[in-house]
Structure 1
Amino acid sequence: MKFNSQFISFILHFIFLVTFFCPIYSLKTSNHQIVNQTLQFEKEFQKINKTIKAQLQRINKPAVKTIQSPHGDIIDCVLFHKQPAFDLPLLKGQKSSDSQAKTEGHNQINNSSVNSQLWSLSGEFCPKETIPIRRTKEEEIKYGRKSISFQERLYEVITYVEGGGYHGAKGIINVWAPRVENAEESSSSKIWVQSLTAKESIEAGWQVCQKRYGDNRPRIFTYWTVDAYKATGCYNLQCPGFVQTSRKVVLGTPVGPVSIIGGDQYDFNLKIEQDQKDQRWWLEYAAGNENYERVGYWPFSLFKELKDEANLIQFGGEVVDLNPTGDHTSTYMGSGQFAQQALGRAAFIRNMKVAVTPNTYIDLPDPEYLEEKPDCYSIKGGFDKVYESYIFFGGPGRSQKCP
């Protein structure tokens, strides 16, 4: 078959055009996809930012007075009935409650008394009819929203009692500033009051978590959930639920001084107690030899299983391990010393008691002990005339025995 020169020229030109322009078209298509993905990312980013700002607006209520803490926190004095708890539809009708008036008469603020709440070192307190709330920062909301792509591991060493109905728990909690390896990890010492299924839980104690609070100081905290930590509840006042009544105690602020290995030991008193009359679960706090201060309460309307009584009480320490490498975290529990090191070196909770009826407290009846990884964190307990029911606990985390 013969081809004339014009036809051959046409074929060669067509091949050139296809060879030259197809990659350009492909590049344009690829660039178009990148532009679309970038626009989609920007839209998603703007949506998240809008959501975060809306959350901050809901949490950080308008302040009557603002106090700058010596340790960097901003404390907003918010009108009692304007606090986040009353955003919850279940509590709308309780806005006119005289709960604060009832507790203030019982807990007079004495500026000359010893106070392990470091925010009050400035000598300032919130005015009457207001409560102090630590202002939440944008970074804290982002941390709360962060999706962890690797398996979160939780390690606890606890003593516990279960079965019969309990109406309260109290103890004296030793304060430390444990080393925390990862800014998103946490280490805490606390008391848990739970339903038998552990689906419903209220907790309080001290906690170190840099991402949540901005530093590595031990801070007093509360937590609650009614669905086994899945979707409900939050820390402190960062969602509707816990009703604050105290003008003296600020949740989420540092406590101190902290204990020193082989040196002075510092602690505070904590009590979670159910009111027989209205079935509220009250949180009470005391530093040194002070009288208990009623911090606030979890309303009975939050719960189903904890409405009448608790069936499980726990005391001890907890470490959240987010180490993505698979190795155990080197985050300390307590002082970082094992329980066997005992007084002056290991963390402790002493004078532990449970209420078998409202206001009737007894020493822990036949307590059980749980240590999930004893080569990493350990616990031991007993009874003493001075310390009554007590536990020592803690550990350094990762080591040769705890890889």
Structure 2
Amino acid sequence: MRPSFHPEGLSFDDVSSKSESEITQLWHLNGMCPEETIPIKRTKEEDLLRASSVANYGRNKYPQFDTTDTNKTAFLEVQLNRSALVFVTGDKYYGTKATINAWKPQIQEQVEFSLSQLSILGDNTGRELNSIGASWMVNYNVYGDYNTRLFAFFSKDSNQIIGCYNLLCSPGFVQINREIALGGSLNPISVSAGSQYELHFLIWKGGGGGDWWLQVGNKYLMGYWPASLFVSLSESASPIQWGGEVTNLQKNGEHTSTQMGSDHFPEEWYRRASYFKNLQSVDGSNVLRFPKYSAIFARNSNCYNVTKGNQADFINFFYYGGPGRNPNCP
């Protein structure tokens, strides 16, 4: 399978000279996969033991409970996701592109995670909320370590089954690339006050069949989410979101110290804060365009925040992130 077309205006030449042109994963030290094959991260016994069941491994972002049970509902009130993001809405979108610098945030609890992603969502007025996302994350519950890993994710039924990471369910994402492993560790990553390691992502509706394609960088066509997975994403998307998210498993009323992005607030700027840049969306004519207007959202700006900017070297960019618990975020 190959997409029927790419968006018009696609170019990764606008990124800075400091960007990495190759994606390096730790497994590359042992060679590459042969032709006609793809790399698949090995599922081990301990991976399955971390999941509530074999069927749920790699599927659930959050624990799922019967909300009619008051005791379990009380737990849900302290199991929160924290987001700091930029979004566009109102129009019909057929894809998105962005450049993101990769970091290794510290995680407080094994059941928490920290991710940065670009995502597209379908109509959220009913129970068939669809979403697609990709980028990097730290998630012990899925991977069994605290490495920064490349991921792809989809959800097809709102808050029921939630969805699936990488290649961990079928039907799901169909990979065609033999060079990059979804779920593989990224190396190197950005260094505070030092070198910045960037990743470039494109998600778009790439053909008459309605499949949603994922490309990483200018050479890694990863694969596609089949159109048959979706209802509200069957034709177009709205809104599009870019930003960070963490799980906050509060204990004794304290906010988690799980970090978002680089651990630094956006006001610390380049080489310290996490950023997205070159934000674009695909319109109905299959043309990549910079958004004319976008909004920002931070659930608790004293814990994690986001700030927009626009300058010559960072076209349509924003900084985001934070340390979590601190004197202003108890």
Q: TM-score range by the shorter chain?
A: 0.7 to 0.9
- Aligned mates of 1:166, 1:350 — CA distance in 2: 19
- Residue 74 of structure 1 aligns with which residue? none
Runs of 4 or more off by more than 4 Å in structure 1?
Answer: 146-149
Q: Conserved in 2, the CA contact under 8 Å of 1:275 and 1:358? A: no
Q: Conserved in 2, the CA contact under 8 Å of 1:274 and 1:358? A: no
Deviation at 1:276, TM superposition (A): 3.4
Alignment of 1:300-311 (within 5 A): 300-311=227-238
- Residue 115 of structure 1 aligns with which residue? 22
The aligned amino acid for 1:303 is F
- Residue 192 of structure 2 aligns with which residue? 261
CA 1:273 to 1:292, structure 2 compared with 1: closer, same or farther past 3 Å? Answer: farther
- Aligned mates of 1:233, 1:178 — CA distance in 2: 24
Deviation at 1:327, TM superposition (A): 1.1
2:99 to 147, 162, 172: 172
The aligned amino acid for 2:39 is P
**Larger RCO, structure (CA 8 Å, separation 6 or more):** 2
Alignment of 1:206-355 (within 5 A): 206-240=136-170, 241-286=172-217, 291-355=218-282
- Residue 201 of structure 1 aligns with which residue? 131
Deviation at 1:126, TM superposition (A): 1.4
Q: Conserved in 2, the CA contact under 8 Å of 1:182 and 1:323? A: no
Percent identity for Structure 1 against Structure 2: 34
Deviation at 1:260, TM superposition (A): 1.4
Deviation at 1:234, TM superposition (A): 0.8
Structure 2 gap segments, 5+ residues each: 7-19, 54-62, 65-71
- Aligned mates of 2:140, 2:84 — CA distance in 1: 22
TM norm structure 1: 0.69
Query: In the alignment, does 2:303 pair up with 1:373?
Result: no
CA 1:142 to 1:230, structure 2 compared with 1: closer, same or farther past 3 Å? Answer: farther
Deviation at 1:123, TM superposition (A): 5.7
Residue-pair matches, total: 292
Deviation at 1:259, TM superposition (A): 1.1
SS of aligned partner of 2:133: strand
Structure 1 gap segments, 5+ residues each: 1-97, 104-112
Deviation at 1:232, TM superposition (A): 4.6
The aligned amino acid for 1:239 is C
- Residue 313 of structure 2 aligns with which residue? 386
The aligned amino acid for 1:283 is L
Q: Conserved in 1, the CA contact under 8 Å of 2:26 and 2:187? A: no
Relative to its length, the structure with more helix (as a share) is: 1
TM norm structure 2: 0.83
Deviation at 1:315, TM superposition (A): 0.1
